[in-house]
């Protein structure tokens, strides 16, 4: 059974470094190329042949008598084969080194590609983590803003329905609504006011929202804070889900009603002009 562990990325990089490492030339070292040994042996044999030729044909004692031009021609012809041999051996040895360097460069390219892919993955993970952190931060802020909006609508509801202003809702019911909001239902007043805006037509709905300076101030404050929450949601809402959920809430529907009556005022009214009875149903 094969028990050899698979090569890790570190082992691959080590092997790549060994391939790319340049070692000093050593003809007789442990890692000497066989081509070097061929060249050394061939050179030794050839030098022996030349020495034998000189001793037989000329004689070592008569070398001084050989003319310079003939000596030059002899040396040129004698060493030309060796020069060609070493040229060929050097060429093939260089080819081997080039192949090794090419393999090392390929491995470096692969490692670089892997590093680039890991960088992209890490970048996406960081972006997702940052987006998640922004969402969590927004949700905490949105919870506080929803409570603030609930309080604004509560005062807007009181301005028309409270018994102190000739409204029709008893104090104990209003107290129950405030209690419900305090127990974790910040949209309880928005639902009540939405029902009233649909109960008696657009003219009465406009009076509920903009019939007095106080109501106008509450409605404008609600719109301002709600739109700020929407803008904050868009900064961390990559798919629009958070924005849709906010607009689909009771606060969101009331916001749409407020904006609609602010921008499309029913006939007979002028925005911020209060020359009518704000509590009549007509």
List, for residues 137-151, the tens digit of each pLDDT value: 999 999 999 999 999
Residue 201 lies in a domain: yes
CA distance 224 to 188: 20
Amino acid 166: pLDDT: 63
Token couple for 278: 């704000």
Q: Judge whether residue 11 has pLDDT over 80.
A: no
For residues 116 and 157, state if they share a domain. no
- Residue-wise burial string across 52-67, b where 16 or more C-beta atoms lie within 10 A, e elsewhere: eebeeeeeeeeeeeee
For residues 144 and 233, state if they share a domain. yes
For residues 259 and 180, state if they share a domain. yes
List pLDDT tens digits, range 152-178: 999 999 999 986 666 678 889 999 999
* Domain end residue (candidates: 124, 153, 185): 124
CA distance 236 to 170: 42
Average of per-residue pLDDT across 174-200: 95
Query: Which residue range forms the structural domain that includes residue 113?
Result: 33-124
Residue 129 lies in a domain: no
Alpha helices in the chain, H assignment, sequence order: 9-20, 34-53, 68-161, 171-182, 188-199, 201-210, 213-234, 241-247, 250-263
CA distance 222 to 186: 13
Amino acid 169: pLDDT: 86
Yes or no: say if 246 and 190 are a contact pair by the CB < 8 Å rule: no
Yes or no: say if 210 and 262 are a contact pair by the CB < 8 Å rule: yes
CA distance 154 to 182: 12
For residues 169 and 53, state if they share a domain. no
List pLDDT tens digits, range 67-83: 777 777 777 787 888 88
Residue 109, judged by CB atoms within 10 A of its CB (0-12, 13-18, 19+), counts as: exposed
For residues 195 and 143, state if they share a domain. yes
Residue 270 lies in a domain: no
Average of per-residue pLDDT across 209-231: 96
For residues 141 and 253, state if they share a domain. yes
> In terms of Cα–Cα distance, which of 22, 31, 36, 38 is closest to 104?
22
Amino acid 163: pLDDT: 64
Token couple for 5: 């562990």
Residue 15 lies in a domain: no
* Paired residues of 179 in beta bridges: none
Mean pLDDT of the chain: 84
For residues 74 and 181, state if they share a domain. no
> In terms of Cα–Cα distance, which of 161, 192, 211 is closest to 254?
192
Residue 278 lies in a domain: no
Least confident range of 160-164, 201-205, 214-218, 250-254: 160-164
Amino acid 100: pLDDT: 82
Amino acid 181: pLDDT: 94
Yes or no: say if 260 and 193 are a contact pair by the CB < 8 Å rule: no
Confidence of residue 128 (pLDDT cuts 50, 70, 90): confident
Amino acid 2: pLDDT: 47
List pLDDT tens digits, range 232-266: 998 888 888 999 999 999 999 999 999 999 999 99
Residue 80 lies in a domain: yes
Please tell me the total count of domains within the chain. Answer: 2
List pLDDT tens digits, range 13-70: 444 444 444 445 454 455 557 777 888 888 888 888 888 877 777 777 766 777 777 7
For residues 59 and 108, state if they share a domain. yes
For residues 119 and 179, state if they share a domain. no
pLDDT over 70 for what percent of the chain? 85
For residues 192 and 224, state if they share a domain. yes
Residue 12 lies in a domain: no
Yes or no: say if 269 and 277 are a contact pair by the CB < 8 Å rule: no
Confidence of residue 103 (pLDDT cuts 50, 70, 90): confident
For residues 256 and 138, state if they share a domain. yes
Residue 13 lies in a domain: no
């Amino acid at each position: 059974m094969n028990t050899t562990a698979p090569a890790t990325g570190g082992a691959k990089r080590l092997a790549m470094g060994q391939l790319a490492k340049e070692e000093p030339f050593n003809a007789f070292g442990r890692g000497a190329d066989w081509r070097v040994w061929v060249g050394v042996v061939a050179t030794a044999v050839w030098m022996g042949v030349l020495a034998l030729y000189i001793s037989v044909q000329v004689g070592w004692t008569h070398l001084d008598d050989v003319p310079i031009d003939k000596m030059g021609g002899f040396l040129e012809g004698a060493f030309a084969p060796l020069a060609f041999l070493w040229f060929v051996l050097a060429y093939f040895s260089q080819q081997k080194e080039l192949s090794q360097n090419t393999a090392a460069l390929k491995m470096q390219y692969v490692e670089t590609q892997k590093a680039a892919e890991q960088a992209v993955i890490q970048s996406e993970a960081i972006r997702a983590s940052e987006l998640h952190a922004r969402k969590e931060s927004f949700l905490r802020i949105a919870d506080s803003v929803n409570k603030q909006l609930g309080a604004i609508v509560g005062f807007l509801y009181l301005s028309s329905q409270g018994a102190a202003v000739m409204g029709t809702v008893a104090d104990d019911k209003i107290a129950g609504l405030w209690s419900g909001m305090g127990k974790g239902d910040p949209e309880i007043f928005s639902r009540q006011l939405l029902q009233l805006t649909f109960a008696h037509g657009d003219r009465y709905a406009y009076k509920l929202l903009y019939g007095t300076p106080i109501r106008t101030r509450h409605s404008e404050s609600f719109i301002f804070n709600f739109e700020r929450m929407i803008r904050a949601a868009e900064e961390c809402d990559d798919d629009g889900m958070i924005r849709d959920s906010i607009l689909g809430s009771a606060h969101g529907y009331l916001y749409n009603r407020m904006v609609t009556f602010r921008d499309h005022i029913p006939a007979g009214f002028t925005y911020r002009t209060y020359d009518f009875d704000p509590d009549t149903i007509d």
